[in-house]
Amino acid sequence: MATRIDKEACRESYNLVRDDNSDINWAAFKYDGSMIVPAGQGADYEDFKKLCTDDERLFGFVRITTGDAMSKRAKFTLITWIGENISGLQRAKISTDKTLVKDVVQNFAKEFMISDPRELEEAYLRNELKKAGGANYDAQAE
């Protein structure tokens, strides 16, 4: 059966993360049978990381504050998590299913495909977003 997505429910979670007046910093989307549905949202990134288990495959949309001494700004990332115990067929399918998620999650600075929990560390993601973000004035402060 072809995978589908609950666009309205997922878009609602996506918009909460994008809203500057919201405390929501992440939203997760998981498989419920052949349907991709919201899996949770929250203000604490550690709660998102707890969803990323060896037996899970999911998508995460995360707001991370980046910047340098001159400016701070919100950057967004799309994370595709594939747990260690996910079958080869499900691994292959997630890359095509990601297009459904990208119909909802359209604005992000960088995309990650992660299977190693160490790559979920917020400092790692922040550093990668900072590299992708262009000008960095931190070196001038030294």
Number of domains the chain is built from: 1
- What pTM does this model have? 0.89
- DSSP states of 23-66: ---EEEEEEETTEEEEEEEES-HHHHHHH--TT-EEEEEEEEEE
Which amino acid is it at 117? P
Residue 139 lies in a domain: no
Question: What CATH number is associated with residue 103?
Answer: 3.40.20.10
Does residue 142 fall inside a structural domain? no
Where does residue 62 fall: left (phi above 0), alpha (psi -120 to 50 degrees), or beta otherwise?
Answer: beta
pLDDT in tens, the chain (142 residues): 799 999 999 999 999 999 999 999 999 999 999 999 999 999 999 999 999 999 999 999 999 987 666 777 889 999 999 999 999 999 999 989 999 999 999 999 999 999 999 999 999 998 888 877 665 555 544 4
CA distance 39 to 30: 6
114 domain-assigned: yes
Beta bridge partners of 41: 27
Domain that holds residue 123: 4-133
Among 103, 109, 46, 102, residue whose Cα is nearest residue 74:
109
